[in-house]
Structure 1
Amino acid sequence: MRFEGRAGLLLLCAVVMCVLAGCTAIPGDAWRVEPIAYDNALEGDSASFTDVTYPMGHMTDDTLGGIWTESAGSWLHLDAVGKTVRRFNLEDERAVSTVRGIAALNATELVVSHDARGDGQALSIFDTAGMRWRDLPASGDWIGDVAVENGRIFYVEYVAPPMVPTRFVIRELDLATGAVVTLADDDDRLIAEDAKIAVDGGEVYLVTETATLVLVDGLVTADTGSSGASPPYLSLGGDGDLVAPTDDAAAAEVSTAVVGGSREARRVLELAGCEGRGGLTLRERDAWLRFPDICQPRSVEWLGDGSFVASLGTESGAVLARFMPPTD
């Protein structure tokens, strides 16, 4: 093989680097897993790009193809290509004590559930552009996860602080009228420490530590069981694909290939292995798939291009990993 001129030199460099890194071809049927490198500097600080930070317990799409995340008062907004739009911490009087769920009304306004700051003050709209909070007229002081669809907010309301598995109901708040209605409150499976919720038309999806449910008109129409994931995880794609736990023994195992990422990020992904705990699962076109080498995401969210993002790892190191479907 001959390498001539500048183009040849560049090709030679690429070949050498690939050999040194042990490059292998990625099978066409493999899901590609890519740690996202983004600017983690707080607003006003010098840029600080990284692909290993901290677990992100709450994640939502930003309605434009990107994501918002929150973890212990740290907020991050990435666009559709993983570029940082906002990165800030909330402190002092602007902070809420504990965030329990987030969902985007639009790219800058988020519905946030949190510890109550007073009677009926556990659900708010957070205007991230103006850095202002507006409380919503929701019932209950122990509101959990939230979802948004067509100007309506759906939320989990516990009957007591969910320090142990606790009964909950599903409520819907109409932003235009302020009316609150109860959608589901009479099923023995509505009990959890951390229930996740998603909505698609008239269907409400719920994941608890013991069940993955679909409800229509307040009644359970499907129960796919659960792998016992703690915390539970849930994200519903625009085409009905679902990232959620299942104990379906027939789930087909899929292969993955890590692309890009720093050595530290790849190490985090190695440590996120299952060790017999079942694997992250995905329902695609009514068939369940299992990622046997990926476990215990803190949160997940679909993107508009058919990929999804998962927060993987521990306080000792975590990554936002983008899962891209096979090319075949």
Structure 2
Amino acid sequence: MQGANRSALPEFTLIGFSTFPRQLLPAFFLLFLLMYLVTLLGNLLIMVTIWSERSLHTPMYLFLCALSISEILYTFTIIPRMLVNLLSSQHSITFMACVSQLFFTFTFGFTHSFLLTVMGYDRYVAICHPLHYHVLMSPQGCAYLVAWSWAGGSVIGLVVTIAICHLTFCGPYEIPHFACHVPPLLKLACGDDVPVVAMGVGLVCITALLGCFILILLSYAFIVTTILQIPSAEGRRKAFSTCASHLTVVVVHYGFASVVYLKPKGSQSLEGNTLMATTYTVLTPFLSPIIFSLRNKELKIAMKKTFFSKFCPEKL
């Protein structure tokens, strides 16, 4: 965005839920607040359990802990402002606040995708190359994978944010979303460079997401092939159970993302688009810790041991 235009454009307006009947907004607020609190509590419980239980100090749970951190930060970037706007008549957001939200949303969102990919690789090594697992997934190697995931998310967030900042924006400065989102921002931009920026941002995002998805698919293709070669049904069940929670989260993550981003343009009203966007920004983070807690037997037992022993020690 050019310097002259930046002073002339002090703020955007987030339309979001403002088109809904006002009597529905308190109900939306309560629902999303409860889901947000469950998301925070679930991820914090996972992190504390992994930190407290030495038996969980393994690569798989290190990655899960990093995933919980990225999820807490991602939701903190979007949901609190959305909740405030639900009960406020003022839906404005300054240019710098919008850009900051855009950067952190992309950073934590793509970090989350990279960590899911790393977790798929971890399961691939554990099932397909168990004898080499401790070599390939050494503590130093795991730390590098987590660091590269965060670095990759930060780079994509920086690239997208810089590209958006170089655009010139035209009125009416109204964003048909409850957060600063790239597609509506591109529609507010004017100038000859808009198509180039749109293509560049789209190419970066699609390449990263599609690359992660293909790597996860390849990991599970090898995993399924290996599991089918296990002679006993019990052995196959145990092998698959170590992947069940991760695979379920991947399906939810990419399933909702594809519904939101691959739907035909102009196929829904603003209200429909707003509700659909909450599936990816509110519902997916809400489901993730629940899935990991309920479908991972080892983590579930550790949680009961960690917290039940603190609050009800006499019953152990």
Q: TM-score range by the shorter chain?
A: under 0.3
TM-score of the two chains, using structure 2 as the length reference: 0.24
**Greater helix content:** 2
**Greater strand content:** 1
Task: Tell me: higher relative CO, structure 1 or 2? Use CA pairs within 8 A at least 6 residues apart.
Answer: 2
